[in-house]
Amino acid sequence: MGAADLWFLSRGSGLVLLVLFSIVVVLGVATRTGSAPGRWPRFAVAELHRTLSLFAVSLLALHVVTAILDPFVTIGWAASVLPFASPYRTVAIGLGALAVDVAGAVLVSSLLRQRLGQRTWRAVHWLAYLAWPLAFLHSLTAGNDLGIWWVTLTEVGSAVAVATAVLARLFSRAQPAVRPS
């Protein structure tokens, strides 16, 4: 694999990661609101949310490692977790590092859910709503592929999906619970 291939792989994995991250967020909201597609039981949606989250971790590792190993850009291993430490595109890479940190906190808290307790886990899990916008901004600022129509379509589609899910979540919270008479 050549050096340029790392660059292409980093861009490709980053784009797919945004889509996967969006699906994970939508599934997480669906788990909470109970709006499962078709005849899917609610636990299956939660399980799929969990499975795809782990896929996202693998893809995130691929995205970060290929970006760092790419010899054309000087990002550095520390900049992958330390925000705004990269000499290359400081703000854009910094947003990505912030997203990694926040998503990492969500992941670790989920793995330690039994030890942390439900309240702490839920409080940390709310950070997922912060991680997605950071990742989205990272994709908008770090990438230069927005001139490609299907990349733009992918970005817009991801944003619309997540925005719809968040609105559905807010709407479901706003609705008062109906007590059986």
Partner 1 sequence: MDHEDERPGRVRLPGYESPGPAASSRGDGVRRVRRAGNWTAAALIAGVAAASGYFAHHQPPAASVATQARPASASGQAAASGHGTTAARLHSSSGSAPVVTSGGSGVAVGSAVGSAAGPAGTGSAGGGAASVAWRDN
Tell me which stretch binds partner 1 (CB under 8 A): 16-24, 76-84, 96-104, 111-119: 16-24
Residues 132-171 that bind partner 1 (CB under 8 A): 144-145, 148
Tell me the C-alpha distance between 86 and 106, whole Å. 23
Q: What is the secondary structure of 99-130 as a DSSP string? A: HHHHHHHHHHHHHTHHHH-HHHHHHHHTTHHH
Q: Which candidate, 56, 22, 3, 17, places its Cα nearest to that of 143?
A: 17
Residues 43-102 that bind partner 1 (CB under 8 A): 43-44, 47-48, 51-52, 55, 59, 62, 71-74, 87-89
> How far apart are CB 127 and partner 1 at their closest, in Å?
24
* CB-nearer residue toward partner 1: 13 or 109: 13
> How far apart are CB 162 and partner 1 at their closest, in Å?
17
* CB-nearer residue toward partner 1: 51 or 164: 51
Q: Which candidate, 23, 32, 21, 22, places its Cα nearest to that of 168?
A: 32
Decide: is 103 part of the binding site for partner 1 (CB under 8 A): no
Q: Which candidate, 150, 149, 168, 137, places its Cα nearest to that of 18?
A: 137
* CB-nearer residue toward partner 1: 7 or 129: 7
First CA to last CA across the chain, in angstroms?
Answer: 67
Tell me which stretch binds partner 1 (CB under 8 A): 40-48, 101-109, 156-164, 167-175: 40-48
Sign for the CA dihedral angle at 142, 144, 146, 149 comes to negative
What residues make contact with partner 1 under the rule CB under 8 A?
A: 2-5, 7-9, 11-13, 15-16, 19-20, 40-41, 43-44, 47-48, 51-52, 55, 59, 62, 71-74, 87-89, 144-145, 148
